A and B are shown apart, each in its own frame.
Chain A
Amino acid sequence: MSSESDRHHTGTVRVKRGLAEMLRGGVIMDVVDADQARIAQDAGAVAVMALERVPSDIRRDGGVARMSDPSMIENIQATVTIPVMAKCRIGHFAEAQILESLGVDYIDESEVLTPADEAHHVDKWAFTTPFVCGATNLGEALRRISEGACMIRSKGEAGTGNIVEAVRHLRSILGTIRSLTVADESELFVWAKELRAPLELVQEVARLGELPVPMFCAGGIATPADASLVLQLGAQAVFVGSGIFKSSDPASRAKAIVEATTHYREPAIVAKVSRGLGEAMPGEEIAGLETRLSERGW
Protein backbone atom coordinates (compact mmCIF):
# COMPACT_ATOMS: atom_id res chain seq x y z
CA MET A 1 0.00 0.00 0.00
CA SER A 2 1.37 3.40 -0.93
CA SER A 3 1.64 6.03 1.76
CA GLU A 4 0.73 9.69 1.26
CA SER A 5 4.43 10.59 0.84
CA ASP A 6 4.90 8.06 -2.00
CA ARG A 7 2.18 9.83 -3.90
CA HIS A 8 3.34 13.39 -3.22
CA HIS A 9 6.13 14.55 -5.57
CA THR A 10 7.96 17.87 -5.43
CA GLY A 11 10.51 19.20 -7.93
CA THR A 12 9.01 17.42 -10.94
CA VAL A 13 9.60 18.79 -14.43
CA ARG A 14 5.90 19.57 -14.60
CA VAL A 15 5.85 21.79 -11.50
CA LYS A 16 9.18 23.39 -12.45
CA ARG A 17 8.10 24.27 -15.98
CA GLY A 18 4.61 24.95 -14.64
CA LEU A 19 5.76 27.92 -12.58
CA ALA A 20 7.34 29.37 -15.73
CA GLU A 21 3.97 28.92 -17.51
CA MET A 22 2.31 30.88 -14.70
CA LEU A 23 4.67 33.82 -15.32
CA ARG A 24 3.79 34.12 -19.01
CA GLY A 25 2.60 37.49 -20.19
CA GLY A 26 4.19 39.07 -17.13
CA VAL A 27 7.10 41.27 -16.11
CA ILE A 28 9.90 40.08 -13.82
CA MET A 29 11.71 43.02 -12.28
CA ASP A 30 15.22 43.35 -10.84
CA VAL A 31 15.12 44.82 -7.33
CA VAL A 32 17.93 45.61 -4.89
CA ASP A 33 15.97 46.20 -1.67
CA ALA A 34 12.60 45.79 0.03
CA ASP A 35 11.32 49.21 -1.08
CA GLN A 36 11.94 48.42 -4.73
CA ALA A 37 10.39 44.99 -4.30
CA ARG A 38 7.23 46.57 -2.92
CA ILE A 39 7.08 49.05 -5.80
CA ALA A 40 7.48 46.17 -8.27
CA GLN A 41 4.74 44.09 -6.66
CA ASP A 42 2.34 47.03 -6.47
CA ALA A 43 3.00 47.75 -10.15
CA GLY A 44 1.86 44.26 -11.12
CA ALA A 45 5.19 42.42 -11.46
CA VAL A 46 4.74 38.63 -11.61
CA ALA A 47 8.06 38.04 -9.84
CA VAL A 48 11.13 39.90 -8.64
CA MET A 49 14.81 39.13 -9.16
CA ALA A 50 16.65 39.92 -5.93
CA LEU A 51 20.20 41.14 -6.52
CA GLU A 52 22.58 43.57 -4.84
CA ARG A 53 23.35 45.63 -7.92
CA VAL A 54 21.37 45.97 -11.13
CA PRO A 55 23.36 45.08 -14.28
CA SER A 56 24.15 48.68 -15.24
CA ASP A 57 25.86 49.16 -11.84
CA ILE A 58 27.69 45.83 -12.15
CA ARG A 59 28.93 47.04 -15.53
CA ARG A 60 30.00 50.40 -14.09
CA ASP A 61 31.71 48.97 -11.00
CA GLY A 62 33.62 46.19 -12.76
CA GLY A 63 35.37 43.51 -10.68
CA VAL A 64 33.88 40.13 -9.83
CA ALA A 65 30.10 40.02 -9.47
CA ARG A 66 28.83 37.25 -7.17
CA MET A 67 25.62 35.89 -5.65
CA SER A 68 23.86 38.42 -3.41
CA ASP A 69 24.07 38.43 0.40
CA PRO A 70 21.51 35.89 1.71
CA SER A 71 20.12 38.41 4.21
CA MET A 72 19.32 40.78 1.35
CA ILE A 73 17.43 38.02 -0.47
CA GLU A 74 15.59 37.00 2.71
CA ASN A 75 14.60 40.59 3.31
CA ILE A 76 12.93 40.71 -0.09
CA GLN A 77 11.29 37.31 0.46
CA ALA A 78 9.80 38.69 3.67
CA THR A 79 8.47 41.75 1.86
CA VAL A 80 6.61 40.35 -1.15
CA THR A 81 4.20 37.48 -1.81
CA ILE A 82 5.06 37.07 -5.51
CA PRO A 83 7.84 34.64 -6.52
CA VAL A 84 11.40 35.70 -5.68
CA MET A 85 14.25 34.73 -8.01
CA ALA A 86 17.97 35.14 -7.43
CA LYS A 87 21.13 34.75 -9.48
CA CYS A 88 24.09 32.42 -9.11
CA ARG A 89 27.26 32.52 -11.19
CA ILE A 90 27.50 30.23 -14.23
CA GLY A 91 28.73 26.84 -13.01
CA HIS A 92 28.73 27.86 -9.33
CA PHE A 93 26.62 25.02 -7.95
CA ALA A 94 27.52 25.92 -4.35
CA GLU A 95 25.87 29.33 -4.80
CA ALA A 96 22.88 27.54 -6.33
CA GLN A 97 22.72 25.22 -3.30
CA ILE A 98 22.67 28.25 -1.01
CA LEU A 99 19.87 29.86 -3.03
CA GLU A 100 17.91 26.60 -2.84
CA SER A 101 18.38 26.49 0.94
CA LEU A 102 17.00 30.04 1.14
CA GLY A 103 13.85 28.84 -0.63
CA VAL A 104 14.01 31.14 -3.65
CA ASP A 105 11.36 30.26 -6.23
CA TYR A 106 13.62 30.29 -9.32
CA ILE A 107 17.42 30.33 -9.71
CA ASP A 108 18.92 32.33 -12.58
CA GLU A 109 22.28 30.90 -13.61
CA SER A 110 23.30 34.24 -15.01
CA GLU A 111 25.93 35.72 -17.29
CA VAL A 112 25.35 39.05 -15.50
CA LEU A 113 27.51 37.64 -12.69
CA THR A 114 31.13 36.64 -13.31
CA PRO A 115 31.30 32.99 -14.46
CA ALA A 116 32.77 30.50 -11.98
CA ASP A 117 33.41 27.68 -14.45
CA GLU A 118 34.58 28.08 -18.02
CA ALA A 119 33.44 24.66 -19.19
CA HIS A 120 30.52 23.46 -17.09
CA HIS A 121 27.16 24.91 -16.28
CA VAL A 122 25.31 23.80 -13.13
CA ASP A 123 23.67 20.36 -13.29
CA LYS A 124 20.18 21.74 -12.83
CA TRP A 125 18.47 18.35 -12.67
CA ALA A 126 20.05 17.91 -9.23
CA PHE A 127 17.86 20.67 -7.74
CA THR A 128 14.24 20.87 -6.57
CA THR A 129 14.25 24.59 -7.36
CA PRO A 130 13.77 25.34 -11.06
CA PHE A 131 16.39 27.23 -13.09
CA VAL A 132 16.25 29.88 -15.78
CA CYS A 133 19.24 30.37 -18.09
CA GLY A 134 20.12 32.85 -20.79
CA ALA A 135 20.74 32.01 -24.43
CA THR A 136 21.85 33.89 -27.53
CA ASN A 137 20.95 31.17 -30.03
CA LEU A 138 18.99 27.94 -30.27
CA GLY A 139 21.95 25.63 -29.65
CA GLU A 140 22.78 27.41 -26.41
CA ALA A 141 19.11 27.29 -25.34
CA LEU A 142 18.92 23.54 -26.00
CA ARG A 143 22.17 22.85 -24.14
CA ARG A 144 20.75 24.67 -21.11
CA ILE A 145 17.49 22.71 -21.38
CA SER A 146 19.46 19.45 -21.60
CA GLU A 147 21.17 20.46 -18.33
CA GLY A 148 17.75 20.92 -16.72
CA ALA A 149 16.79 24.58 -17.30
CA CYS A 150 12.99 24.99 -17.13
CA MET A 151 12.83 28.47 -18.60
CA ILE A 152 15.00 30.18 -21.20
CA ARG A 153 15.50 33.90 -21.50
CA SER A 154 17.12 35.45 -24.52
CA LYS A 155 20.16 37.22 -23.10
CA GLY A 156 20.22 40.56 -24.80
CA GLU A 157 22.93 42.81 -23.39
CA ALA A 158 22.07 43.46 -19.73
CA GLY A 159 22.53 46.92 -18.23
CA THR A 160 22.64 48.81 -21.53
CA GLY A 161 19.05 49.95 -21.99
CA ASN A 162 19.65 49.00 -25.62
CA ILE A 163 17.21 46.52 -27.10
CA VAL A 164 19.26 45.64 -30.18
CA GLU A 165 20.97 42.54 -28.75
CA ALA A 166 17.72 41.18 -27.30
CA VAL A 167 16.17 41.47 -30.75
CA ARG A 168 19.19 39.79 -32.35
CA HIS A 169 19.02 36.84 -29.93
CA LEU A 170 15.25 36.43 -30.16
CA ARG A 171 15.34 36.52 -33.94
CA SER A 172 18.20 34.02 -33.98
CA ILE A 173 16.43 31.53 -31.68
CA LEU A 174 13.00 31.86 -33.28
CA GLY A 175 14.34 31.97 -36.85
CA THR A 176 16.29 28.76 -36.33
CA ILE A 177 13.22 27.10 -34.80
CA ARG A 178 11.27 28.03 -37.93
CA SER A 179 13.99 26.41 -40.06
CA LEU A 180 13.75 23.22 -37.99
CA THR A 181 10.00 22.94 -38.52
CA VAL A 182 10.51 22.51 -42.28
CA ALA A 183 13.59 20.26 -42.09
CA ASP A 184 13.22 16.56 -42.88
CA GLU A 185 14.38 13.83 -40.47
CA SER A 186 17.84 13.43 -42.02
CA GLU A 187 18.41 17.18 -41.96
CA LEU A 188 17.64 17.19 -38.22
CA PHE A 189 20.73 15.03 -37.61
CA VAL A 190 22.83 17.72 -39.27
CA TRP A 191 21.04 20.46 -37.34
CA ALA A 192 21.78 18.66 -34.06
CA LYS A 193 25.45 18.54 -34.98
CA GLU A 194 25.57 22.18 -36.08
CA LEU A 195 23.64 23.38 -33.04
CA ARG A 196 25.77 21.17 -30.75
CA ALA A 197 22.53 20.10 -29.11
CA PRO A 198 20.98 16.70 -28.26
CA LEU A 199 19.15 15.17 -31.23
CA GLU A 200 16.04 14.37 -29.16
CA LEU A 201 15.65 18.03 -28.21
CA VAL A 202 16.18 19.15 -31.81
CA GLN A 203 13.49 16.69 -32.93
CA GLU A 204 11.16 17.88 -30.18
CA VAL A 205 11.59 21.53 -31.18
CA ALA A 206 11.00 20.62 -34.85
CA ARG A 207 7.77 18.90 -33.86
CA LEU A 208 6.53 21.59 -31.43
CA GLY A 209 7.64 24.63 -33.45
CA GLU A 210 8.85 26.16 -30.19
CA LEU A 211 11.08 25.41 -27.22
CA PRO A 212 9.73 22.75 -24.83
CA VAL A 213 9.99 25.35 -22.01
CA PRO A 214 8.72 28.95 -21.91
CA MET A 215 11.00 31.51 -23.54
CA PHE A 216 11.19 34.97 -22.04
CA CYS A 217 13.25 37.99 -23.07
CA ALA A 218 15.86 39.90 -21.06
CA GLY A 219 18.66 42.40 -21.51
CA GLY A 220 17.95 45.92 -22.68
CA ILE A 221 14.22 46.48 -22.16
CA ALA A 222 13.74 50.09 -21.05
CA THR A 223 10.35 51.22 -22.39
CA PRO A 224 6.78 49.94 -22.85
CA ALA A 225 7.46 49.90 -26.59
CA ASP A 226 10.49 47.63 -26.04
CA ALA A 227 8.23 45.16 -24.21
CA SER A 228 5.66 45.27 -27.00
CA LEU A 229 8.40 44.71 -29.60
CA VAL A 230 9.87 41.59 -28.04
CA LEU A 231 6.46 40.07 -27.29
CA GLN A 232 5.40 40.60 -30.89
CA LEU A 233 8.64 38.94 -31.99
CA GLY A 234 7.68 35.88 -29.93
CA ALA A 235 8.93 36.29 -26.36
CA GLN A 236 6.36 35.14 -23.81
CA ALA A 237 7.27 37.46 -20.92
CA VAL A 238 9.98 39.99 -20.09
CA PHE A 239 12.70 40.50 -17.52
CA VAL A 240 13.43 44.17 -16.85
CA GLY A 241 16.66 44.83 -15.00
CA SER A 242 18.12 48.30 -14.87
CA GLY A 243 15.33 49.68 -17.09
CA ILE A 244 12.91 50.39 -14.26
CA PHE A 245 14.90 51.46 -11.22
CA LYS A 246 17.48 53.43 -13.24
CA SER A 247 14.72 55.55 -14.80
CA SER A 248 13.48 58.85 -13.37
CA ASP A 249 10.06 57.53 -12.23
CA PRO A 250 10.32 53.78 -11.49
CA ALA A 251 6.77 53.22 -10.16
CA SER A 252 5.10 54.74 -13.23
CA ARG A 253 7.48 53.05 -15.66
CA ALA A 254 6.99 49.69 -13.93
CA LYS A 255 3.19 49.95 -14.26
CA ALA A 256 3.48 51.08 -17.87
CA ILE A 257 5.70 48.16 -18.86
CA VAL A 258 3.29 45.74 -17.13
CA GLU A 259 0.34 47.09 -19.11
CA ALA A 260 2.29 47.16 -22.37
CA THR A 261 3.25 43.51 -21.82
CA THR A 262 -0.40 42.44 -21.47
CA HIS A 263 -1.71 44.65 -24.28
CA TYR A 264 1.36 44.33 -26.54
CA ARG A 265 -0.72 44.01 -29.70
CA GLU A 266 -2.69 47.23 -29.01
CA PRO A 267 -0.58 50.23 -30.07
CA ALA A 268 -3.18 52.66 -28.68
CA ILE A 269 -2.77 51.19 -25.19
CA VAL A 270 1.04 51.09 -25.44
CA ALA A 271 0.89 54.74 -26.56
CA LYS A 272 -1.36 55.65 -23.64
CA VAL A 273 0.91 54.11 -21.02
CA SER A 274 4.04 55.56 -22.66
CA ARG A 275 2.99 59.16 -22.01
CA GLY A 276 4.73 61.25 -19.35
CA LEU A 277 7.03 58.58 -17.95
CA GLY A 278 10.02 60.93 -17.60
CA GLU A 279 13.54 59.88 -18.52
CA ALA A 280 14.28 56.28 -19.44
CA MET A 281 17.55 54.86 -18.15
CA PRO A 282 20.60 56.25 -19.97
CA GLY A 283 21.43 53.82 -22.75
CA GLU A 284 24.71 52.54 -24.15
CA GLU A 285 25.89 51.74 -27.65
CA ILE A 286 26.87 48.08 -27.86
CA ALA A 287 30.04 48.91 -29.86
CA GLY A 288 31.33 51.05 -26.97
CA LEU A 289 31.09 48.33 -24.32
CA GLU A 290 34.19 47.00 -22.59
CA THR A 291 32.47 43.77 -21.55
CA ARG A 292 29.86 41.85 -23.53
CA LEU A 293 27.96 39.94 -20.83
CA SER A 294 26.08 37.94 -23.45
CA GLU A 295 29.34 36.27 -24.53
CA ARG A 296 29.59 34.57 -21.15
CA GLY A 297 28.21 31.01 -21.15
CA TRP A 298 28.54 28.52 -23.96
Chain B
Amino acid sequence: MKVGVLALQGAFREQREVFAALGCEAFEVRSARDLAATDALVLPGGESTAIAHLLRTGDLLDPLKERIEAGVPVLATCAGLIISAREVVGGLKGQVGLDILDVTVKRNAYGNQQQSFEAPIDISISPDPFPGVFIRAPVIERVGDDIEVLGAHDGSPVLVRAGKVWASTFHPELSGDLRIHQAFIQSASE
Protein backbone atom coordinates (compact mmCIF):
# COMPACT_ATOMS: atom_id res chain seq x y z
CA MET B 1 0.00 0.00 0.00
CA LYS B 2 1.31 3.45 -0.92
CA VAL B 3 0.76 5.84 1.97
CA GLY B 4 1.22 9.56 1.41
CA VAL B 5 2.03 11.50 4.58
CA LEU B 6 1.24 15.20 4.42
CA ALA B 7 4.65 16.73 5.17
CA LEU B 8 4.06 20.47 5.28
CA GLN B 9 5.01 20.61 8.95
CA GLY B 10 4.85 18.45 12.08
CA ALA B 11 5.36 14.80 13.01
CA PHE B 12 5.33 13.49 9.45
CA ARG B 13 8.56 11.55 9.83
CA GLU B 14 7.23 9.45 12.73
CA GLN B 15 4.12 8.55 10.71
CA ARG B 16 6.20 7.64 7.68
CA GLU B 17 8.41 5.40 9.82
CA VAL B 18 5.46 3.60 11.43
CA PHE B 19 3.82 2.88 8.08
CA ALA B 20 7.15 1.75 6.62
CA ALA B 21 7.64 -0.57 9.61
CA LEU B 22 4.24 -2.09 8.82
CA GLY B 23 5.28 -2.90 5.26
CA CYS B 24 3.74 0.07 3.45
CA GLU B 25 5.50 2.23 0.93
CA ALA B 26 5.33 5.53 2.81
CA PHE B 27 6.31 8.84 1.23
CA GLU B 28 5.99 12.56 1.94
CA VAL B 29 3.36 14.76 0.30
CA ARG B 30 4.24 18.44 -0.13
CA SER B 31 2.48 19.33 -3.36
CA ALA B 32 -0.56 18.31 -5.42
CA ARG B 33 1.54 16.18 -7.77
CA ASP B 34 2.62 13.98 -4.84
CA LEU B 35 -1.04 13.02 -4.29
CA ALA B 36 -1.52 11.05 -7.49
CA ALA B 37 0.10 7.82 -6.27
CA THR B 38 -1.56 7.59 -2.85
CA ASP B 39 -3.66 4.60 -1.75
CA ALA B 40 -4.05 6.15 1.71
CA LEU B 41 -3.30 9.52 3.28
CA VAL B 42 -2.00 10.58 6.67
CA LEU B 43 -2.66 14.03 8.11
CA PRO B 44 -0.11 14.18 10.94
CA GLY B 45 0.17 16.15 14.13
CA GLY B 46 1.90 19.50 14.19
CA GLU B 47 0.68 23.06 14.55
CA SER B 48 -2.73 23.22 12.90
CA THR B 49 -2.58 26.96 12.15
CA ALA B 50 0.77 26.53 10.37
CA ILE B 51 -0.41 23.48 8.42
CA ALA B 52 -3.62 25.26 7.39
CA HIS B 53 -1.58 28.27 6.28
CA LEU B 54 0.72 26.07 4.18
CA LEU B 55 -2.22 24.17 2.66
CA ARG B 56 -3.54 27.50 1.44
CA THR B 57 -0.26 29.02 0.21
CA GLY B 58 0.72 25.73 -1.46
CA ASP B 59 -2.64 25.43 -3.31
CA LEU B 60 -3.00 22.00 -1.76
CA LEU B 61 -6.33 22.31 0.04
CA ASP B 62 -8.65 21.57 -2.90
CA PRO B 63 -6.57 18.78 -4.49
CA LEU B 64 -6.32 17.09 -1.08
CA LYS B 65 -10.06 17.39 -0.44
CA GLU B 66 -10.85 16.05 -3.92
CA ARG B 67 -8.58 13.06 -3.41
CA ILE B 68 -10.19 12.25 -0.05
CA GLU B 69 -13.72 12.71 -1.37
CA ALA B 70 -12.81 10.31 -4.19
CA GLY B 71 -12.48 7.65 -1.49
CA VAL B 72 -8.84 7.58 -0.37
CA PRO B 73 -8.70 6.42 3.28
CA VAL B 74 -7.34 8.97 5.78
CA LEU B 75 -5.67 8.71 9.18
CA ALA B 76 -5.67 12.11 10.91
CA THR B 77 -3.99 12.74 14.26
CA CYS B 78 -4.23 15.80 16.52
CA ALA B 79 -3.58 18.78 14.21
CA GLY B 80 -4.62 16.52 11.32
CA LEU B 81 -7.98 16.04 13.05
CA ILE B 82 -8.35 19.81 13.47
CA ILE B 83 -7.63 20.29 9.74
CA SER B 84 -10.26 17.62 8.95
CA ALA B 85 -13.04 18.87 11.21
CA ARG B 86 -16.24 20.52 10.09
CA GLU B 87 -16.04 23.06 12.89
CA VAL B 88 -13.05 24.34 14.91
CA VAL B 89 -13.32 26.22 18.21
CA GLY B 90 -10.34 28.44 18.95
CA GLY B 91 -8.91 28.46 15.43
CA LEU B 92 -7.58 31.54 13.69
CA LYS B 93 -9.97 33.83 11.87
CA GLY B 94 -10.28 32.49 8.34
CA GLN B 95 -8.37 29.27 9.15
CA VAL B 96 -9.02 26.86 6.29
CA GLY B 97 -9.94 23.21 6.73
CA LEU B 98 -10.90 20.12 4.74
CA ASP B 99 -14.36 19.55 6.29
CA ILE B 100 -14.14 15.78 5.83
CA LEU B 101 -15.20 14.82 9.37
CA ASP B 102 -18.46 15.95 10.95
CA VAL B 103 -17.13 16.90 14.36
CA THR B 104 -16.65 20.08 16.38
CA VAL B 105 -13.16 20.21 17.83
CA LYS B 106 -11.72 22.64 20.36
CA ARG B 107 -8.00 23.45 20.02
CA ASN B 108 -5.60 23.19 23.01
CA ALA B 109 -8.58 22.19 25.11
CA TYR B 110 -6.56 20.75 28.01
CA GLY B 111 -4.39 23.88 28.30
CA ASN B 112 -0.71 24.56 27.67
CA GLN B 113 2.18 22.08 27.43
CA GLN B 114 2.26 21.46 31.19
CA GLN B 115 -1.12 19.78 30.78
CA SER B 116 0.11 17.50 27.99
CA PHE B 117 -0.23 13.95 29.32
CA GLU B 118 -0.08 10.22 28.84
CA ALA B 119 -3.01 8.04 29.85
CA PRO B 120 -4.34 4.59 28.88
CA ILE B 121 -7.35 4.74 26.57
CA ASP B 122 -10.02 2.07 26.21
CA ILE B 123 -10.49 1.40 22.50
CA SER B 124 -13.20 -0.72 20.94
CA ILE B 125 -10.91 -2.25 18.31
CA SER B 126 -8.79 -4.09 20.88
CA PRO B 127 -9.36 -5.64 24.33
CA ASP B 128 -6.36 -3.94 25.96
CA PRO B 129 -6.05 -0.20 26.67
CA PHE B 130 -4.00 1.90 24.24
CA PRO B 131 -1.18 4.19 25.51
CA GLY B 132 -2.56 7.62 24.68
CA VAL B 133 -0.03 10.45 24.18
CA PHE B 134 -1.81 13.81 24.28
CA ILE B 135 0.25 16.88 23.35
CA ARG B 136 -1.50 20.24 23.61
CA ALA B 137 -4.35 18.11 22.41
CA PRO B 138 -7.76 19.17 21.13
CA VAL B 139 -11.08 17.88 22.49
CA ILE B 140 -13.93 16.67 20.29
CA GLU B 141 -16.97 18.52 21.63
CA ARG B 142 -19.58 17.24 19.19
CA VAL B 143 -19.83 14.30 16.81
CA GLY B 144 -22.20 14.02 13.85
CA ASP B 145 -24.60 11.11 13.30
CA ASP B 146 -22.24 9.25 10.96
CA ILE B 147 -19.33 9.25 13.42
CA GLU B 148 -18.37 6.02 15.16
CA VAL B 149 -16.59 6.59 18.48
CA LEU B 150 -13.79 4.00 18.87
CA GLY B 151 -12.22 5.42 22.03
CA ALA B 152 -12.99 7.98 24.73
CA HIS B 153 -11.20 9.65 27.64
CA ASP B 154 -12.82 11.65 30.46
CA GLY B 155 -16.15 11.39 28.67
CA SER B 156 -14.96 12.84 25.33
CA PRO B 157 -14.30 10.90 22.12
CA VAL B 158 -10.56 10.68 21.37
CA LEU B 159 -10.58 8.12 18.54
CA VAL B 160 -13.32 8.33 15.92
CA ARG B 161 -14.12 6.97 12.51
CA ALA B 162 -16.44 8.01 9.71
CA GLY B 163 -16.19 5.40 6.98
CA LYS B 164 -12.69 5.61 5.55
CA VAL B 165 -11.64 8.58 7.68
CA TRP B 166 -10.03 7.74 11.04
CA ALA B 167 -9.03 10.47 13.47
CA SER B 168 -7.51 10.72 16.95
CA THR B 169 -6.85 13.60 19.31
CA PHE B 170 -3.73 11.76 20.56
CA HIS B 171 -0.56 10.49 18.88
CA PRO B 172 -0.47 6.74 18.20
CA GLU B 173 2.72 7.30 16.16
CA LEU B 174 4.60 8.38 19.32
CA SER B 175 3.35 5.55 21.53
CA GLY B 176 5.35 2.64 20.12
CA ASP B 177 2.05 0.71 19.87
CA LEU B 178 1.05 -0.19 16.31
CA ARG B 179 -2.51 -1.46 16.85
CA ILE B 180 -4.34 1.62 15.58
CA HIS B 181 -2.14 1.87 12.49
CA GLN B 182 -2.63 -1.85 11.84
CA ALA B 183 -6.41 -1.55 12.16
CA PHE B 184 -6.40 1.46 9.84
CA ILE B 185 -4.28 -0.34 7.23
CA GLN B 186 -6.54 -3.38 7.42
CA SER B 187 -9.70 -1.33 6.95
CA ALA B 188 -8.06 0.68 4.15
CA SER B 189 -7.18 -2.54 2.33
CA GLU B 190 -10.76 -3.80 2.40
Contact = CB atoms under 8 A, between A and B. Distances in A.
A interface, size bucket: 35 or more
B104 interface: no
Contacts of A23: 10, 46-47
B40 to A, nearest CB: 21
Nearest to A42: B92
A41 B134 CA distance: 22
Interface string A241-281: 00000000000000100110111001000000000000000
B30 A258 contact: no
A152 B115 CA distance: 22
A60 interface: no
Contacts of B57: 44, 255, 259
Contacts of A46: 9, 46-47, 50
Contacts of B108: 81
Given A18-B133, A18-B135, A105-B136, A26 B113 contact: no
Contacts of B107: 81
B50 A8 contact: no
Instruction: Summarize B's interface: helix, strand, loop or mixed.
Output: loop
B8 A19 contact: no
A44 B49 contact: yes
B9 A25 contact: yes
Interface in B105-131: 107-108, 111-120
A226 to B, nearest CB: 18
Contacts of B11: 18, 21-22, 24
Contacts of A45: 50
B57 to A, nearest CB: 6
A56 to B, nearest CB: 25
Interface string A127-141: 011100000000000
A14 B53 contact: no
Given A7-B120, A18-B116, A82 B49 contact: yes
Contacts of A32: none
B12 interface: yes
Interface in A19-43: 19, 21-26, 41-43
Contacts of B78: 22
Contacts of B175: 14
Nearest to B8: A262
10 contacts: A12-B118, A15-B113, A15-B116, A22-B46, A22-B79, A23-B10, A25-B46, A129-B114, A258-B50, A258-B53
Interface of B: 7-14, 30-31, 45-47, 49-50, 53-54, 57-58, 78-79, 90-92, 107-108, 111-120, 133-136, 154, 171, 174-175
Given A7-B119, A15-B135, 9 more contacts: A9-B119, A10-B117, A14-B118, A18-B133, A24-B13, A81-B49, A81-B91, A82-B49, A130-B113
